[in-house]
Structure 1
């Protein structure tokens, strides 16, 4: 059974108004109608509201808007704005970018990478991204401040109405049905109150997701949570073509230098700097100063990284990592959860951007199908397919990730497995392919087909 902060409610049977309508108390003067059937809709009504213009929200808004739906994309900050992230993108994320029509060439400002380098003790192993029909054979790196704005502007170019400095305060709820019918927000520096109305709302407001909490979507406490801290420093290795993960992250305050449940990374940015950080599972209840740990870890880097305290270009910042679909239900009462709001970070690797974007696309496809239905019941049934789409895509893979997370939480077992794995590159390659989730069912390679099957049939919950 789930161990939520409070038990989540099951989806209710309330009706879903069709495109162009706004229901519930406090609706704008008269229901807005579609351009084909009546007066132009008011500024504060839409077919869909997306709260949050991060990777998941902007991806959802793009795919919704390109079908002709009227989409409001509300962002509490103004671009450019910073987010805590490793800035490294796997081929899964690159595929989502190309599906948005974004130029991901190096001439357009991206640094491509060939694969992942694992470092543990004195051992180093490099794995190239596999060449697959479903995914490109390269990853990429780009700073989040630039990356997020690029995606938000792309959604706006597709027709989404992007509203910056729109700090969403809470949901508008129909008292009779319990359905969300819009949101309230405070706009701009003067925090002017405004209400937005739509029959469907998408929560893409990150791990804190105040909108989800207001609608009683609670975090499952039986799912792992992680924390990440990162900074940037100047280094001659800024154009490294491999994402680098150091597996032997240790506690400097412990006399035995115990192995911590996580890893550190160095991702070259191609601009003279590297993004350096650490990701740790917080399930073990370890009480450490993570900023100080990152500083000490950087000081212990080999000389070729040329780390110096005066070469650090930004302060250390941290963030929580919601993993393994840990907030549920992902759809109920007119509200869909995507990205960090729905806990789509991989529990095995900490990768978040690819799954955030994919969940945004799944949600958009579900909403498009729902709003095309002719009856309220038909629209509601279509919307209820979204959680199943997430389960079909991720339940098995995330179950494997939770096993990996459990391994990370057992330092002695982790040390033994790491020693065994690094001594057997072929075995480690299998683990690498499973953890980065780059497989396809129709590959000629029998190992690839087997890995895809394992990811699909692993028992999710």
Structure 2
């Protein structure tokens, strides 16, 4: 069994599979190790904004409707007795539509796309730790990362067989919210960054082929009028197959664990807010997951290893979207890897690899810092009440808010909302 490559990728979700695809297309020998076997479920809303659709276009993944990709025209916001629809606009930077596809299918198709480019994507390999060369300087007093130790897993996810060493001069950790490899190297979560919790399930609905993403901005922690309005939102994303993905998420500005019963919150919200969807049979269990946001684990590069996606806390703190940013990080990681390969000497090679962390901060640091402020504000119930009471009735305010929350705007030009948002993001410090 081949155990050496130019790059080892840990995890083959959207970030890992995209990195494997990009790197293989650039001529790198890539081994991607995925702990599960496809298809496998992930806790996700299954809805893709135009930002994510752009990443799919850049990586060349076909999205035909006849293969289950359901387009959506925009975002419908519901709350405070109001129902507003905001179409995705025609922008130079982004397509004017979103998509929906269950994650179980999405991840498998992206992995197959990576294989088609020549990446060696191996299912059923659980990466236990990083290999480090103590003769070369690395992170936190340890040596440079030069590979990983992994064990095979069976169809039920149980580890089997002996540990195997996989070696490469570059490792990309895209192992999700657990970030076990980064944690094993002492890369702890920043406790001043937001953390979300999301739960979701599927329901049958006659509106399964409706082409709008719907978000509900009022989530209560008890009976209405006698409880707090929570920071977060509920969603209903039609999937075109007779079902819709239905879920909700809440936000903690400081990343402290929530004591809320999110499954009970979901059931209560559905009892009060989704009757017009005529939700029928529940398909599958309610499943939940933590959502690491706003670069809550850094640095994104240590000698020999890059963090991509959830392992680096690359989820949008405004809306909980992670797929677009994981794929964007994979694209940037590949740019840095190409510069590394073309560099004339050891110092220039390391500088090229380290440029990945700088590119990610340049791309997203200011916007994510705004998200940290947003999280701290909406965590206060009185702020949430003011926003729903006075913000929702104003189409002008909500037009700006829809661009801010979705991170879909024209950074150069556009209308007044695009220009205002671009100026605010540019002025915000990256951190």
Provide TM-score, normalisation by structure 2: 0.94
Structure 1 residue 285: deviation in Å?
A: 5.7
**Change over 3 Å in CA distance of 1:407–1:240 after alignment to 2:** farther
**Aligned partners of 1:340 and 1:285: how far apart in 2?**
17
Show the counterpart of 1:368.
Answer: 338
Show the counterpart of 2:37.
Answer: 78
**Aligned partners of 1:293 and 1:94: how far apart in 2?**
30
Structure 1 residue 191: deviation in Å?
A: 3.1
**Aligned partners of 2:345 and 2:429: how far apart in 1?**
36
1:276 equivalent in alignment to 2:246: yes
Show the counterpart of 2:259.
Answer: 287
Show the counterpart of 2:93.
Answer: 134
**Aligned partners of 1:121 and 1:78: how far apart in 2?**
43
Show the counterpart of 2:118.
Answer: 159
Show the counterpart of 2:278.
Answer: 306
Report if aligned partners of 1:401, 1:435 keep a CA contact under 8 Å in 2.
no
Point out the more displaced range, 121-130 or 278-287.
278-287
Show the counterpart of 2:149.
Answer: 184
Stretches of structure 1 lacking an aligned partner (at least 5 in a row): 1-41
**Change over 3 Å in CA distance of 1:445–1:290 after alignment to 2:** closer
Larger-gyration structure (1/2): 1
1:457 equivalent in alignment to 2:427: yes
1:439 equivalent in alignment to 2:398: no
Point out the more displaced range, 123-132 or 370-379.
370-379
Report if aligned partners of 1:299, 1:307 keep a CA contact under 8 Å in 2.
no
What is the total number of aligned residue pairs between the two structures? Answer: 418
**Aligned partners of 1:228 and 1:287: how far apart in 2?**
13
Alignment partner of 1:137: what SS?
A: coil
Show the counterpart of 1:37.
Answer: none
Alignment partner of 2:273: what SS?
A: coil
Q: Please, which of 149, 155, 175 is the counterpart of residue 108 of structure 2? A: 149
Show the counterpart of 1:229.
Answer: 199
Stretches of structure 2 lacking an aligned partner (at least 5 in a row): 137-142, 155-159
Q: Please, which of 219, 230, 236 is the counterpart of residue 260 of structure 1? A: 230
1:122-167 C-alpha deviation (Å, 9 max, x unpaired): 1111101111111100000000000000001101111111111010
Point out the more displaced range, 58-67 or 101-110.
101-110
Structure 1 residue 372: deviation in Å?
A: 1.8
**Change over 3 Å in CA distance of 1:448–1:255 after alignment to 2:** closer
Report if aligned partners of 2:36, 2:153 keep a CA contact under 8 Å in 1.
no
Show the counterpart of 2:140.
Answer: none
Report if aligned partners of 1:63, 1:365 keep a CA contact under 8 Å in 2.
no
Report if aligned partners of 1:94, 1:104 keep a CA contact under 8 Å in 2.
no
**Aligned partners of 1:264 and 1:358: how far apart in 2?**
26
Q: Please, which of 178, 182, 188 is the counterpart of residue 208 of structure 1? A: 178
Report if aligned partners of 2:68, 2:240 keep a CA contact under 8 Å in 1.
no
1:288-343 C-alpha deviation (Å, 9 max, x unpaired): 211122122222234332234xx001100000100001101100121100100000
**Aligned partners of 1:301 and 1:414: how far apart in 2?**
18
Report if aligned partners of 2:80, 2:388 keep a CA contact under 8 Å in 1.
no
1:403-439 C-alpha deviation (Å, 9 max, x unpaired): 2211220111111022111121111111211221112
**Aligned partners of 2:272 and 2:419: how far apart in 1?**
41
Q: Please, which of 367, 374, 387 is the counterpart of residue 417 of structure 1? A: 387
Counterparts of residues 313-392 of structure 1 (less than 5 Å): 313-392=283-362
1:50 equivalent in alignment to 2:9: yes
Once superposed, what is the RMSD of the aligned Cα atoms?
A: 1.6
Show the counterpart of 2:268.
Answer: 296
Q: Please, which of 161, 164, 170 is the counterpart of residue 194 of structure 1? A: 164
Structure 1 residue 367: deviation in Å?
A: 1.1
Q: Please, which of 429, 438, 451 is the counterpart of residue 399 of structure 2? A: 429
Report if aligned partners of 2:362, 2:430 keep a CA contact under 8 Å in 1.
no
